């Protein structure tokens, strides 16, 4: 009988299938409880604060700092070329050859009173500030002669042309006419004569000297104005063009030159040639001196 006690029904006791474990009531109701997800999902507070927080992209798009720095560096970079451009002082000194150009004529040998105009230009010995030029226009057939005395100043440029030497400068021109005794048109006004024999003056505008051999020397009372530019024609045959340097005795040099030319070239008696040369000297000194408008 004692063996019957072991299979006692105590072991298969219904404790295990007890409904306590499968009692899912508690977890089934708590888990699907919509309280927790209802509160977490619709709570848009976190995404509202994080996503629209455009603070970071706002800083990225704010290119103000790099934009301002780069162009700001470019502007001061212009200072270097700005300093280079005004550094034109060196070429300014090079082009300022005006001073040495004026010094050269000043250094001329004062014993040389005058030179052939075109030779002086070719050897760079032509006075650039001011001077006097005497040109002759002699007839090859007779003693009929014309002299032109030109004073010039304020020279801007001098250059050769097909006709002669052109001066970009102001100046004055005085005419001297030598008319031999047998001249056929002696009663015609000088302004109305042929192109090769005329001067732009009437008898009333001329001072007259009659030499012992009846040669007449006419000297204009006033010079004519030369504005902006004029040309000294290259002499041909027996003619000449001579430039006189503005030395203290330039007027005496002019007088001596004319006395010699009138006497030797045009056969005017010595005493009359001297008288005419003094008249020319006084007229030039009075009306064509550089103490007037040409002085500076």
**Other residues' Cβ atoms within 10 Å of the Cβ of residue 61:** 9
- Per-residue confidence (pLDDT) for residue 289, from 0 to 100: 85
Span of 102-106, 107-111, 184-188 with lowest mean pLDDT: 102-106
**Highest mean pLDDT of the ranges 34-38, 111-115, 245-249, 276-280:** 276-280
For residue 226, the Cα-to-chain-centroid distance in whole angstroms is 25
Share of the chain above pLDDT 70, in %: 61
267: left (phi over 0), alpha (psi -120 to 50) or beta: left
Q: At residue 161, does pLDDT exceed 80?
A: yes
Share of the chain above pLDDT 90, in %: 56
- Per-residue confidence (pLDDT) for residue 290, from 0 to 100: 76
Higher per-residue confidence, 196 vs 111: 196
pTM: 0.63
Higher per-residue confidence, 140 vs 145: 145
**CA 293 – CA 172 distance, rounded (Å):** 11
| CA R_g for the chain | 57
Span of 60-69, 130-139, 269-278 with lowest mean pLDDT: 60-69
What single-letter DSSP state applies at residue 117? H
**CA 279 – CA 290 distance, rounded (Å):** 19
Q: Where are the domains of the chain?
A: 110-287
- Per-residue confidence (pLDDT) for residue 105, from 0 to 100: 43
């Amino acid at each position: 009988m004692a063996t019957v006690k072991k299979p006692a029904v105590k072991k298969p006791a219904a404790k295990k299938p007890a409904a306590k474990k499968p009692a899912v009531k508690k977890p089934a109701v708590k888990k699907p409880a919509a309280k927790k997800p209802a509160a977490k999902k619709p709570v848009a507070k976190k995404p509202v604060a994080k996503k629209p927080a455009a603070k970071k992209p706002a800083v990225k798009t704010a290119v103000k700092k790099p934009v301002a720095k780069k162009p700001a560096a470019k502007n001061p970079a212009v200072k270097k070329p700005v300093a280079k451009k005004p550094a034109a002082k060196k070429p300014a000194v090079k082009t300022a050859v005006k001073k040495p150009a004026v010094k050269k004529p000043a250094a001329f040998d004062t014993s040389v009173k005058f030179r052939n105009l075109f030779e002086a230009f070719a050897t760079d010995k032509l006075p650039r500030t001011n001077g006097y030029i005497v040109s002759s226009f002699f007839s090859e057939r007779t003693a009929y002669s014309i002299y032109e005395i030109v004073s010039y100043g304020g020279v801007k440029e001098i250059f050769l042309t097909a006709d002669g030497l052109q001066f970009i400068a102001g100046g004055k021109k005085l005419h001297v006419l030598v008319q031999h005794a047998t001249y056929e048109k002696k009663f015609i006004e000088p302004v109305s004569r042929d192109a090769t024999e005329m001067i732009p003056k009437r008898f009333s505008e001329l001072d007259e000297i009659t030499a012992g051999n009846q040669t007449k020397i006419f000297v204009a009372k006033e010079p004519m104005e030369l504005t902006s530019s004029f040309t000294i024609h290259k002499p041909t045959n027996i003619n000449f063009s001579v430039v006189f340097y503005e030395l203290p005795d330039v007027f005496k040099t002019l007088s001596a030159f004319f006395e010699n030319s009138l006497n030797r070239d045009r056969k005017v008696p010595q005493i009359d040639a001297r008288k005419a040369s003094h008249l020319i000297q006084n007229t030039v000194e009075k009306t064509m001196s550089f103490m007037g408008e040409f002085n500076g």
